[in-house]
Amino acid sequence: MIDSAPRTTSLHDSSQAQADQALLRLGQRLMAASYRFITPTPLTHQRVNGRLADPRATDLRGVFGWSRPFDAGLFDAAELAGLQQAGIVQEDAGQLRSTVRWSSLGPLLLAHSAYPTEEADAVFFGPDSYRFASLIEDHLCQRFSPVRRAVDIGCGSGVGALLVARSRHTAEVLAVDINPRALRMSAVNAELAEAHNVSVYHSDVLGSVEGRFDLILANPPYMQDTQQRAYRHGGGELGEQLSLRILREALPRLQRDGSLLLYTGVAMVEGRDPFLDAARPLLDNDAYAWTYRELDPDVFGEELEKPGYERVERIAVVALTVTRRS
């Protein structure tokens, strides 16, 4: 059962709890059917769907992966009625569509928002999530210090928290987010993955949780988004504000030998890295050891055509790893 304690989400509401149980049952059904879907970039998603003469889905991957409209006959009447009652399926312009998408990550199956992610509280999953997961897995393989307590800041669908929880079964793992919809998705995904050492909390960065951590993870939004969608808008001049805030607030919360893994994006301006320039004063002292590298030098090139990015040469995704030495 999905348990509301100690989660500070709307799971206390009985109708919402029923909807979350329906989402969990759907995930279990998809896993039993060996469903798999690797989520591409939104631009690739648009291009692939645009190839179709008939846009309607003909299978579960079309419905819950490609977010295509579908006919009622694809499901039996009772199952479809349950999905509609739970808000998982809705009618849109005379057609049926899923409001959620299911993506594969290794053995995991994760629920997140359907394409296109236009709502202010959308829960995003995509290529950044896969790169973030790879960064976490590499760190855990190389880490010999124990992980007793970990937190995934801005957990979204719960990727970071789930990977740590499944790798370190005795660890207390917190998944925190300011977006209630993300917390609900993370709770369902944790239950589906049988990651019972994950607890989900509403928190603005680390403001609502106490104590120190052996491992802090963060994959914050890093774009300048005019719609200010929670999963995408990083704030500041070029989307860097939230990443810098996480760095400032996370460093004092590390245990000795504890590490921060910050995966983010940087708008490079005239050959400079503005994020690294701003981060250096926080890092260049004897208390921390750190590494910084570009994981991909050029992502979301289409953003350079939007207002605010006139001086930006490229957007890179980077990984900052900081370990507290004293």
Same domain, residue pair 231 and 165: yes
Q: Is residue 121 part of a domain?
A: no
- pLDDT at position 231 is 73
Answer yes or no: is pLDDT of 1 > 50.
Answer: no
Q: Can you name the residues that pair with 145 across neighbouring β-strands?
A: none
Residue tagged 């880490």 (tokens)? 143
Answer yes or no: is pLDDT of 99 > 80.
Answer: yes
CATH of the domain at 239: 3.40.50.150
Q: Is residue 315 part of a domain?
A: yes
From CA 103, how far away is CA 101, in angstroms rounded? 7
Answer yes or no: is pLDDT of 232 > 90.
Answer: no
Last residue of a domain, which of 90, 113, 136? 113
For residues 6 and 164, which has the higher predicted lDDT (pLDDT)? 164
pLDDT band at 13 (very low <50, low <70, confident <90, very high): low
- pLDDT at position 246 is 97
Same domain, residue pair 315 and 167: yes
Tokens linked to 286:
């004897």
Same domain, residue pair 227 and 132: yes
Burial 136-166 (b: 16+ CB within 10 A, else e): beebbeebeeebebbbbbbbbbbbbbbbbbb
Same domain, residue pair 155 and 67: no
Residue ranges in the chain assigned as alpha helix (H): 14-32, 42-50, 60-64, 77-85, 127-142, 159-167, 180-192, 241-250, 274-283
Residue tagged 């798999």 (tokens)? 36
Q: Is residue 1 part of a domain?
A: no
The pTM (predicted TM-score) of the whole model is 0.92
Q: What is the pLDDT of residues 284-309, one digit of tens each?
A: 999 999 999 999 999 988 889 988 89
pLDDT band at 7 (very low <50, low <70, confident <90, very high): very low
Same domain, residue pair 157 and 300: yes
CB contact set of 202 (below 8 Å; sequence gap of 6+):
8, 9, 176, 177, 178, 180, 183, 208
- pLDDT at position 15 is 82
pLDDT band at 115 (very low <50, low <70, confident <90, very high): very high
